[in-house]
Structure 1
Amino acid sequence: MKSVLALIPVTLLAAACASRPPAADPQAQEQANAQWQSLRADYTNCAREQADAGLPGRGSPQDLAGAALKACQSRLDAMRGAFRDYLDAQMVSSHGHDSARQAADRLARDAEAKTRAYLVRYVERERYNAGLR
């Protein structure tokens, strides 16, 4: 009986190890990480370019920032998808995949909010420097 009880922890450990994902290729992980970060930079650059195009207009900085973000929505969606794929590759359970989706959505919301705040200040400064106030 004692030998059977001694095998239980070993069996549980073996099952836990078997449920772990195979070791992911570190180079592939680095590439996936670099990809979503590159897409994030692309989104920010797109928004700034859109804001630059609207600088001479009469809209408020908040309106201009909103229009710029809307014009770059597809790039934000691409970044969200790449980040989710990056996290999904590291998850095993359905709970882990749900967490990856939630984290990707949170990242996208944060990126949009930070870019919006940056653009409002950017537009105000650029208009001031250009004498457009």
Structure 2
Amino acid sequence: MKKLLTVLPLALLAACASQPPGSPTDAGADALSVADASGWQALRAKYMDCVQRKANDNLSAKGQSRDVADLALSACQPELDAMHNAFRSYLDAQMSSSHGKSSARQAAARVTTDTREKARSYLVRYVERERYLARQN
């Protein structure tokens, strides 16, 4: 697990190191980079909203909380794919070497996996809590 936790910071460090020395950076490029970064993050937020909405739609369904969470994750796969593609494009734009681009692919895959697993973990607890509250009323 420790090894996996070091992959993302190393990939981001590689992103910084892959810039050619002395490459010009102006305010316009920096603003574009911030806009790209916020774009994939907005897509991540959209994905998290989608999975919660889909889980809400299936709260009354029979089955375990994990099944409800898995249905929500499956229903929102296009949103997760869009976030993955946006993050990968953002990182690719920061890389100049083939090694850096390889690191970008690995980092994008890791962020996508982490996002899906965090959403699953959250949804299972969320569904359990909402079902408990519904039984109390």
Give structure 1 stretches of 5+ with no counterpart: 1-17
Query: 1:22 offset after TM fit, Å?
Result: 4.7
Identity percentage of aligned residues: 50
Structure number with larger C-alpha Rg = 1
Runs (4 or more) in structure 1 with deviation over 2 Å come to 18-24
In 1, the alpha carbon distance for the partners of 2:65 and 2:39 equals 30
Aligned residues: 115
Q: Where does residue 48 of structure 2 map in the other structure?
A: 44
2:88 is the counterpart of 1:84: yes
TM-score by length of 2: 0.79
In 2, the alpha carbon distance for the partners of 1:23 and 1:121 equals 45
Q: State the AA in 2 paired with 1:90.
A: Q
Q: Where does residue 101 of structure 2 map in the other structure?
A: 97
Query: 1:23 offset after TM fit, Å?
Result: 2.7
Instruction: Choose 21-30 or 105-114, whichever is displaced more.
Output: 21-30
Partner deviation per Cα, 1:7-38 (whole Å, 9 max, x = no partner): xxxxxxxxxxx945553701101111110000
Q: Where does residue 107 of structure 1 map in the other structure?
A: 111
TM-score by length of 1: 0.82
In 2, the alpha carbon distance for the partners of 1:91 and 1:122 equals 38
Query: 1:59 offset after TM fit, Å?
Result: 1.6
In 2, the alpha carbon distance for the partners of 1:113 and 1:19 equals 35
In 2, the alpha carbon distance for the partners of 1:131 and 1:22 equals 61
* Residue from 122, 125, 131 that aligns with 2:129: 125
Q: State the AA in 1 paired with 2:106.
A: Q
